[in-house]
Chains A and B, each alone.
Chain A
Amino acid sequence: MSRDAILPVRGLGDRLTGLFWRHPGLMVALMLALPLGWLVLVYLGSLAALLVQSFFSIDEFSGLIRREFTLSTYAELLRAQNLDIILRTVTMAAAVTLGCAVIGFPIAYFAARYARGGWKALFYLGVMLPLWSSYLVKVYAWKLILAREGIITWATGATGTTPVLEAVLAIPVIGGVSLSTSYIGTWSVFVYVWLPYMILPMQAALERVPNSMLEASADLGASRWQTFRTVVFPLALPGIIAGSIFTFSLTMGDYIIPQIVGSSRRFIGQAVYQLQGTAGNIPLAAAFAVVPIVIMVIYLTIARRKGAFDAL
């Protein structure tokens, strides 16, 4: 055992530890260099490129991109058929977000407040398991479930509830010939696919609410509903917002689900896919792609104004 006041350097590890100890900023700089480089160059760079493209326009005769600043591409977004696409997508994204929040909340609440040990493991497994299989496989599986010749039609026939299914399909706008070609079907698949992204942040937010806070609310005379409204919900709100950022933006950008489970009515993702592919209209595709970004910024600004992040 050495009796010196200073212990000998054992190797490179000790040397580096000493270096970082003397220059605390160095470690942070090294840690951030790679991700920051990625974020700025690849991520924000491509975003900037996108933004720039959206201010170009396409020459209608030659089909070539005119690299001059113009707002005409954005003006084109305001045409009735394009506005329809935007409105449809935003409505769907909002409906999916709401659906995920309503279905996900009890699950997240159970996991955060009641599940312990094995139950908690089961919760994580249950929520994450769908993410282990391919997204495409899940969507096609849902097509089989929802199709006219699919499981649901068969099940309603077997249980004599066909009239219920027919009544649901007869609802104007969201109904249709079959579930797999209706908005109901598209919505169901969206909700299924994005649900984990809503549950996990919600559960994390609820987990941070100490039990004593719920007890304090009850102690001061609040009913369960009042406690939910005035304490649980506001404290879970940052988590719900975080989840809704996922569900909202993922729905707005998706072009596969509405194509496989849905009608011919297009969503933003499909429009972008077709415009940059077959139509070759990159500026309009870029302008379409900017729409979800703008909507998210507006959404988050409103959320912040309303105090959604006060509990952070």
Chain B
Amino acid sequence: MTSAVEFINVSRHFGPVRAVDGVDLTIPEGAFFAMLGPSGSGKTTCLRLISGFEAPTGGAIRIFGQDVSAVPPNRRNVNTVFQDYALFPHMSVRENVAYGLQMRGVGRRLREARADELLEMVKLAGYGDRKPGALSGGQRQRVALARALINEPRVLLLDEPLGALDLKLREAMQDELKALQARLKITFVFVTHDQGEALSMADTIAVFSEGKIAQIGTPSDIYDRPQTRFVADFVGSSNVLSPDQARAVGGPARWCSLRPEALRLVAAGGKIAGQVQALRYLGAGTRVVVGTPGGEMTALLPAGGAVPAPGTPVALDWDANALHVMEGEA
């Protein structure tokens, strides 16, 4: 399988700020690739390095094997769905979608017919004559998507594509994007700070922290087998155990992580004793914060079971194989 995008020791420094710092990355063709991280972690800069809006201060970027260091954005066969959609307010929806073809010199009739096809694909048939200002957020998102796809890019970049949508719409769009990607077989690269979105949509996730990639792998790699404390905490708020704590509960003397849903509350026995400190009702379950001699630990109890009141002394137990050793921590 060829690689769609390749970063070789890529850096992007803004003066003293190392937005991207020595990143090596390979995005295989046809992947649905997520760049996940908190704001300021360098994920958006990486996306802009692919589209060409930023130039690396070090290293090389290859798109389908070709070095793009000296290629401006308009000559990269890569298109972007912008976070604010960046639709042209003075053009109709159809003109917006047809813009990419217009810039290539395709005649009006042909490009508008193609634009209508794409509008139909994103379920906006009949909206061509409207102005973007007359559309809802979700509709604008679809227009932006259609516009970015009209040039049949080899890589589609999506910058926080669902960030501005409400929950219901976000979930619907997640499914649609996934289906669209499966159908078009274009490499999708999307940036998000929402770990749930990354886990549910991507087939590969790169977790960014302070300009570097903290971990790269499949969603279950990232979620079940975090390699660093940062990943364990950022993706799903795992309990992190120091080497001493891990040894105290019968594990190896290494940094370990424990998923909240792997913890059980038991009346007596268990691996560690504590006291319930706080509860957070989540609907599908309840998050229980338990104070233990080694610090707070969080357990996620499924809905329907008994939930102890704050102040209740409890013990925590888990299956031995739930304790995961983080290889990335010394």
Contact = CB atoms under 8 A, between A and B. Distances in A.
B208 interface: no
B73 A311 contact: no
Interface stretch (A103-111, A127-135, A207-215, A249-257): A207-215
A226 B103 CA distance: 7
Contact of B79 (A212, A220, A222, A226): A220
B64 interface: no
Nearest to A221: B103
Interface string B72-109: 11110011101110111110000000011011100000
A231 B89 CA distance: 9
In this complex, which of A217, A220, A226, A231 has the most chain B Cβ atoms within 10 angstroms of its Cβ?
A220
A217 B99 contact: yes
A222 B90 contact: no
A219 B52 CA distance: 8
Interface residues of A, number: 20
A222 B73 CA distance: 9
A215 B72 CA distance: 11
Given A220-B79, A221-B103, A221-B104, A215 B74 contact: no
Interface in B26-82: 51-53, 72-75, 78-80, 82
Contacts of A213: 86, 88
A307 B83 CA distance: 28
A275 B79 CA distance: 64
Nearest to A213: B86
A219 B80 contact: yes
A87 interface: no
A76 interface: no
B229 interface: no
B142 interface: no
A305 to B, nearest CB: 15
Contacts of A220: 74, 79, 99-100, 103, 147-148, 151
Contacts of A311: 89-90
Given A212-B83, A215-B73, A216-B80, A221 B89 contact: no
Given A219-B51, A235-B90, A212 B82 contact: yes
B77 to A, nearest CB: 9
B74 A218 contact: yes
A116 to B, nearest CB: 14
Contacts of B86: 210, 212-213, 215-216
Given A310-B90, A311-B89, A221 B82 contact: no
A215 B79 contact: no
Given A215-B73, A215-B82, A222 B103 contact: yes
Contacts of B79: 219-220
Given A210-B84, A226-B103, A219 B74 contact: yes
Nearest to A216: B86
Given A218-B52, A230-B88, A234-B90, 16 more contacts: A210-B84, A215-B51, A217-B99, A218-B72, A219-B73, A219-B80, A219-B148, A220-B74, A220-B99, A220-B151, A221-B151, A222-B74, A223-B74, A223-B103, A230-B103, A311-B89
Report the 9 A-B pairs with minimum CB-CB distance, sorted nearest first.
A216-B86, A212-B86, A220-B100, A221-B103, A311-B90, A218-B73, A222-B103, A234-B90, A219-B80
Interface of A: 210, 212-213, 215-223, 226, 230-231, 234-235, 307, 310-311
22 contacts: A210-B84, A212-B84, A215-B53, A215-B82, A216-B88, A217-B88, A217-B99, A218-B73, A218-B74, A219-B73, A220-B74, A220-B100, A220-B147, A221-B103, A222-B74, A222-B103, A226-B103, A230-B88, A231-B88, A235-B89, A235-B90, A311-B90
